[in-house]
Amino acid sequence: MTKLNLVLMGLPGAGKGTQAQRIVEDFKIQHISTGDIFREAMKNETKMGVEAKGFIDKGELVPDSVTNGIVEDRLSMDDVNDGYMLDGFPRNLDQAKALDEMTGRLNKPVTAVINIHVDPEVLIARLSGRFICKNCGATYHKLYNRPKVEGTCDVCGHHEFYQREDDKPETVKNRIAVNTKLNTPLIDYYEDKHLLYNINGDQDIDDVYSEIQKVLKAL
Ligand code: ADP
Ligand code: AMP
């Protein structure tokens, strides 16, 4: 089996975090979510976190000069030698090219790109119902994906949840617009490299995962 050095693509709300939780557990690879890294930095009010917040709260992208460095630092660590899954990076062509360069330098090239496709109209409902475990970051939905035991996180057993600031309807619309514009060239870029696998994300969470599993097992 090819080493799983993966990129998980999809518009905000497509289900990247939800599927990532399952993939990393089953395939024993490291999950690298740039959004999670920024949220942790914002929570801790680090210099980078304070800078990122100005962009994130408006639904804009954090500048590449900040984001690329964070990813390279993370990919340089030894715990990703046996595989990684990038979630939310790259988000534009310059980031994709920077990723090629850094993974070349580190000898950890991307081996497949999973693109979860969902029509934009569906995404607004998804994001407005999303809530997240305060302790471990596991993602739920008030209608489509409730914890098995009401009020208790399936993953870590904690009881406190929060809604993301940037899941407010006004910010959601801008996030979807910004990412839709950037997504198409990125899809073409990975298609040309024969790395792209398209997944239908507009079906039950378990069915989306079955499609992804099939692709990963065949690699
Ligand atoms: P992303 O990481 O791509 O932004 P998430 O994984 O956080 O997306 O999913 C967004 C919201 O939609 C969450 O509330 C999640 O529980 C819910 N969700 C994820 N996948 C599905 C699906 N296939 N059907 C319905 N709801 C979903
Ligand atoms: P996410 O959790 O992936 O939805 O990301 C939340 C927010 O973090 C995004 O709306 C961006 O503001 C920022 N962000 C995450 N990943 C990136 C990236 N690769 N490039 C720029 N900004 C990012």
Nearest CA to ligand 1 atom 23: 205
Tens digit of each residue's pLDDT (9 = 90 or more) over 139-163: 999 999 999 999 999 999 999 999 9
CA 167 vs CA 56, 164, 209, 211: distances in Å: 10, 5, 24, 27
Question: pLDDT: is 86 or 171 the higher one?
Answer: 86
Give the number of the atom of ligand 1 that is nearest the alpha carbon of residue 129: 14
Give the number of the atom of ligand 2 that is nearest the alpha carbon of residue 12: 4
Coil, helix or strand at residue 199 = strand
Residues with CB under 6 A from ligand 2: 12, 34-35, 38, 55-56, 59-62, 67, 88-89, 91, 95, 166, 175
What the chain holds in terms of domains, given with CATH numbers, is 5-119+169-218 (3.40.50.300)
Tens digit of each residue's pLDDT (9 = 90 or more) over 46-64: 999 999 999 999 999 999 9
Burial class from Cβ neighbours inside 10 Å (0-12, 13-18, 19+) for residue 144 reads middle
Binding residues: 13-18, 34, 39, 60-62, 88-91, 95, 130, 133, 136, 139-140, 153, 156, 164, 175, 203
pTM above 0.85, yes or no: yes
Strands 5-9 and 84-87: parallel
Tens digit of each residue's pLDDT (9 = 90 or more) over 13-52: 999 999 999 999 999 999 999 999 999 999 999 999 999 9
Q: Can you tell me the distance from the alpha carbon of 119 to that of 114, in angstroms, rounded to the nearest whole number?
A: 16
> Does residue 130 have an active-site annotation?
yes
Residue 1 CA, ligand 2 centroid: distance in Å: 31
